[in-house]
Amino acid sequence: MKKKKLSILLVTSFLTTLCSIIISIGAQELVTIDRVVGIIDKQSACDVETWKGKENQCKCCLVREAISSPGDFDTVVSRCKSFGLCSDKSLETIKKSLGVSKDSDLAKKIFDEAVVVKSSECPIFVKNDGTFDPDGLIEFLVCAHQGGKLKNTAFSAKDCLKAEMLGGQKGVQTIQLFRVISTCSKSEGEQKFIIKEWPRGKGFSEPRRLETTRLVSGMSEILWPNMLPGYPTINVPIAYLRYQDKNDKTRYLSIMREAPGKPLKTYLQEYLANRPSYGNQLDKIYFELGRAVANFHKRFMDKPAAGKILGKTIIHHDLHVNNVFVSSEGDSVIVSFIDNEMMGNYVTNHQEVTHDLTELWFQLTQWHKLQFEKEDYLRTLSNFIRGYASAFPSDQRRQVVVEIGELFAKAGSPWKRDPAITKEQVAIVIDQLLNEGTGK
């Protein structure tokens, strides 16, 4: 009997410990503090090196303690002072910069502004399986806006919102997908948004990378809807929300503006149906795509090695024909990059541009089901390289073409993934471009 009681106590102790671990893991927040992105939980050290300074260290502590004592902001400030992470001087400096007078108001403001994924306390508008129908999603978005969790006025009222499910575009990384059209703002006109639920098992990994990308110096000028001539627009979420479904399961949503135009794959399909009359249009699209990719690479490029033009830089790393959107009307071509979360891995870990140059010509037949003639692939490649080289000064273009050929030649793993072209064919294209004077 004693052994049985002991066993029960041991099991109870184990389950209690396990539950506390699970609670601890769940009690974390993705935050941005003065352009520093990180995850804070109850055990975070809030060191000066990670958060780049004493004041940010104090802000980290305020967020950390607010996780432990939600709503009790006087206690939050008191703890951070007792831990030596917030001094009276640092608190006064932060209060002055944010325009608040009370310590408790400061702690609340820091927590509300730093936390990236906002918790909605709206009534549950979901179905029994935890997902939304279009009407339920609109109710939820409007409620989140009214509660201050979704700042954008595009979600201010139900009667100026329409939602539709995009079920055919869901994948392994997407549980729910909607398009929401807003006419709530007279000054903005019609605005289109994509609402996506990402898997709970991924945690904050995806929004963390996207936030890291968004905050890179020089990125804000090309975040859609901002545009610079010759550059791609980069599409990242404008907000993140989470909610508890009817089974108390936490669900995560990202909200982003819809990229302009349509996927590059659609243009390729139209070319297949209308060749050769569509050829000139496709030539222009691939030229502008090459120029946009080059300008993006140049914007963040390290100093190249001696004798080289192309250095390491931030890369997209998943630049296939479904992740490039193109709006082409007349002489105007707008290129947009979507699914940009991988960029966050390369913000401080710059890479050679090889992957972004080669990805567009791999897995086209098996994965994307596009059946082109070899001449078609080589035609798009040739115009892409012309466009890429055009982004550089005229006296550097020939060398850029040479270096692109070298990068294709030494690329490793891409050539094992259903290549639409061969190394030998790339070499022929490079020779043709050099012989015709591309780069002069």
The reported pLDDT for the residue numbered 38 is 95
How buried is 156 (Cβ within 10 angstroms: 0-12 exposed, 13-18 middle, 19+ buried)? middle
pLDDT tens digit sequence for 83-135:
999 999 999 999 999 999 999 999 999 999 999 999 988 888 999 999 999 99
Neighbours of 215 (CB within 10 A): 17
In angstroms, rounded to a whole number, what is the distance separating the alpha carbons of residues 184 and 57? 40
Enter the tokens of residue 216: 């890179």
Residues 35-62: tens digit of each pLDDT? 999 999 989 999 999 999 999 999 999 9
> 169-197, pLDDT tens digit by residue?
555 678 999 999 999 998 889 999 999 99
* Interstrand relation of 239-244 and 117-119 (parallel, antiparallel or unpaired): parallel
Report the pLDDT value the prediction gives residue 100, as an integer from 0 to 100: 94
Residue intervals in the chain for CATH 3.30.200.20: 118-257
* Token representation of residue 277: 């009359």
At 378-418, the pLDDT tens digits run 999 999 999 999 999 999 999 999 999 999 988 876 666 66
pTM value is: 0.88
Lowest mean per-residue pLDDT among 1-5, 124-128, 363-367: 1-5
Q: What is the mean pLDDT of residues 276-287?
A: 88
Q: Taking the mean position of all CA atoms in its chain, how far away is CA 14?
A: 39
Furthest C-alpha separation in the chain: 92
**Closest listed residue to residue 206, CA positions, set 237, 249, 175:** 237
- Give the whole-angstrom CA distance, residue 200 versus residue 176: 12
1 has pLDDT over 90: no
Instruction: Kindly give the pairing relationship between strand 332-337 and strand 324-329.
Output: antiparallel
Class of 118-257 per CATH? alpha beta
